[in-house]
Amino acid sequence: MGFFSSAERIFKYPVTFPPRLSSNDVNAKMHAPEQSRKNKDYTMFGRPLVAQLIGLISSPAWAAPAGKLVGWGWNNNGQATPPAGTNFVASSAGWRHSLALKSDGSLVGWGWNYADDQTTFYGQAIPPAGTNFVAISAGSEYSLAIQVVIERPGLNIARVGTNVVLSWSTGDSGYTLEAKTDLSSSLNWSNVLGTPTIVGNLHTVTNSVTNGNQFYRLKK
């Protein structure tokens, strides 16, 4: 058990495994002078270990090529019978349930959902909805996952004469500026007319205030 993620979080492709070390090679490496070991950069499979750790932290779980799941062994609750498909990038096996991470960042689970008493419902094989998960772990009667928190961009508003100037960072791409005249309902938002212009590092939209109150938001 423990957190499982895709191979891409550890290795960059293509992966070349070194030849198996002989006992003499192992002894030579383990008994090398201490100073020479300190002066040598530690590597794994020919790549600096620090670089691999950076990749482990920065690479999304769904960046690796996807594949199908294969299960075997004890299967009283179907935990070794994974779902069909070829869009899986990671899996985790618990006691009587299993989890998998899909290439779109969503989760799927199957198997046992109860406690040892067979009546108390825990739902450990029923993962939450969402598409921004990056790692999973199936325990005995519980499950864990890491979900990326997506920060929403800030929207700046300033009045200039009879206009209002709205802006947000150019680092936040793919957002549409929407507006409505009241907040009585979450519906009826409409796109603000006009194409944002880039001023410095900001997307900028200028809108008239002569039509009364307006509420604005960024939608992706």
pLDDT of 17: 37
> Would you say the C-alpha torsion 12, 54, 148, 178 has a positive or negative sign?
negative
What are the DSSP calls for 136-172, one per residue? EEE-SS-EEEEE---PPPP-EEEEETTEEEEEEETTS
> What are the domain boundaries of the chain?
1-150, 156-219
State mean pLDDT over 68-77: 96
Quick one: how far is CA 189 from the chain centroid? 29
CB within 8 Å of 75: residues ≥ 6 apart: 81
Give the Cα separation of 216 and 220 in Å (integer). Answer: 13
Task: Give 204's pLDDT tier (boundaries 50, 70, 90).
Answer: very high
Taking alpha carbons only, the member of 76, 105, 79 closest to residue 90 is: 105
Predicted pLDDT of residue 63: 59
pLDDT value at residue 184: 79
Ranges of H-type helices in the chain: 23-30, 34-39, 49-58
Q: Given a cut of 90, is residue 22 above it in pLDDT?
A: no
Tokens (6 digits) for 90:
């990671």
Burial bucket for residue 160 (CB in 10 Å: 0-12, 13-18, 19+): exposed
Count the Cβ atoms, other than its own, within 10 Å of residue 71: 16
- Looking at residue 64, what is its pLDDT? 63
Q: What share of the chain has pLDDT > 90, as a percent?
A: 46
pLDDT recorded at residue 208: 85
Read off the pLDDT of residues 91-120 as tens digits, 9 standing for 90 and up.
999 999 999 999 999 999 999 999 999 999
pLDDT exceeds 70 at position 2: no
Nearest alpha carbon to residue 209 among 156, 159, 155: 159
C-alpha 37/C-alpha 7 separation (Å) is 28
Top pLDDT among 60 and 36 is at 60
Q: What is the pLDDT of residues 142-192, one digit of tens each?
A: 999 999 887 778 899 998 988 899 999 998 888 899 988 888 777 788 998
Structure tokens at 178: 């929407």
